[in-house]
Structure 1
Amino acid sequence: MESTKTQQPSTMTTQPQKEHDWLQKLVGEWTYEIEVKMGSDLSVEKATGIESVRSLGGLWILAEAQGEMPGCKAATTMMTLGYDPQQQRYVGTWIGSMMTHLWVYDGGELDAAERVLTLDSEGPAMAGEGKMARYKDAIEFKSDDWRVMTSQVLGDDGQWHQFMTVNYWQKK
């Protein structure tokens, strides 16, 4: 007896799209140098480390970094990034061994030239006091083996203020 039921495509099998392919440029072994403007005098602190980025099914990237972080010595961080076709935006998370906040990227867009991915999130304000603030991380490919991530926070003055720059170089 043949079934009259129509077969529906499985929601558990998704093929990577061009937006997922862009994320695959991040895959590999990287070294990094981070510069953070800290304190009221905005003094610059630097640190270095390594990052290992792998693909999960061609749909997600998992980036684990280990090294020093300005203001807290050794740290391990983990970033996940993917693309949600239904929302038509990049999504992801970021966690670090130096804090308990789960950062959620919920509004990522790729620029028209497909060189810069900008990710929006919310997290604890740098001034503390239990306040939350809006943040923006931008990942820009300068070449296939060099990328730069800049981080900005929306200040009380309504302006975006850059506080961190990370240069990544892919290991050969």
Structure 2
Amino acid sequence: METTKTQQPSTMKTQPQKEHNWLQKLVGEWTYEIEVKMESDLPVEKATGTESVRSLGGLWILAEGQGEMPGCGAATTMMTLGYDPQQQRYVGTWIGSMMTYLWVYDGGELDAAQRVLTLDSEGPVMTGAGKMARYKDAIEFKSDDLRVLTSHVLGDDGQWHQFMTANYWRKK
């Protein structure tokens, strides 16, 4: 007796959707300048570097950065971003050679104008107090060749505090 397998739609072959296409704007070679101000009584720290962003199947982007990180010296970073149609939100990760924590972006959405992608995460507080905090990163396209990343942390006062700004310029 011969058995036949039922044909089911494959989840392994997914076509990019408009949300995936938005991520492709990040693909390219970039230079960046970061400004960090962790505490109000500390001076602003600056650093520079480069970032190479490539597409993975039109569904994900992989962004590898090389340069300086304020307070850390030379660093390599890797960000992954994609869109999960089942959860209807952007997802991803961020790691850096200066720390052992895996940052997970577990909720992200575009604004109505489709210029700003806001990503939510949770991670250790930067002061080393051993506590966890909520973070919010926003990637805003000012033009096709200029994007700005701002990072915020939810403070003990219940307010979001911006602590980092990174300007990225597309290499010509």
TM interval, shorter chain, is: over 0.9
Which residue of 2 is the match for residue 70 of structure 1? 70
TM-score (norm 2): 0.96
Ranges in structure 2 where 5+ consecutive residues have no aligned partner: none
Q: Tell me how far apart the structure 1 counterparts of residues 45 and 38 of structure 2 sit (CA, whole Å).
A: 7
Q: Is 1:142 aligned to 2:108, yes or no?
A: no
Q: State the 1:6 CA deviation.
A: 4.0
Give the 3-state SS of the residue equivalent to 1:43 in structure 2: coil
Question: TM-score, normalized by length of structure 1?
Answer: 0.96
Q: Which residue of 2 aligns with 1:125?
A: 125
In the TM superposition, 1:32-43 aligns within 5 A as 32-43=32-43
Aligned to 2:26: 26
Amino acid at match of 1:49: G
Q: Aligned to 2:44, what secondary structure does the other structure show?
A: strand
Distance 2:13 2:42 in 1: 48
* Alignment partner, residue 57 of structure 1: 57
1:77 partner SS: strand
**Deviation per CA, 1:130-152, whole angstroms, max 9, x where unpaired?**
10000000000000000000000
Match of 2:110 in 1: 110
Could you tell me how far apart the structure 1 residues matched to 2:50 and 2:161 are? Answer: 26
Residues in 1 aligned to 2:98 and 2:150: alpha-carbon distance in whole angstroms: 20
Aligned-pair distance for 1:50?
0.2
Q: Which residue identity lines up with residue 86 of structure 1 in the other structure?
A: Q
Q: Secondary structure at the match of 1:38?
A: coil
Question: What is the alpha-carbon distance in structure 1 between the residues aligned to residue 136 and residue 19 of structure 2?
Answer: 19
Secondary structure of the equivalent of 1:19? helix
**1:165: which partner in 2?**
165
Separation (CA, whole Å) in 2 of partners of 1:123 and 1:5: 45
Deviation of 1:115 (Å): 0.2
Q: Post-superposition shift, 1:5?
A: 4.9
2:55 aligned partner, one-letter code: S
Q: Take 2:9 and 2:2, find their aligned partners in 1: how far apart are those partners? A: 19
State the secondary structure of the residue aligned to 1:20: helix
Question: Is the partner of 2:11 in helix, strand or coil?
Answer: coil
Report the CA distance between 1:2 and its aligned residue.
9.6
User: Aligned-residue CA RMSD in angstroms?
Assistant: 1.4
Q: CA distance change for structure 1 residues 82 and 39 in 2, over 3 Å: closer, same or farther?
A: same
Change (3 A) 1:141 1:2: farther
What is the CA distance between 1:127 and its match in structure 2?
A: 2.5
**Equivalent pairs: percent with the same residue?**
90
Taking the aligned partners of 1:10 and 1:43, their CA distance within structure 2 comes to 53
- The answer for unaligned runs of 5 or more in structure 1 is none
Q: Which residue of 1 aligns with 2:100?
A: 100
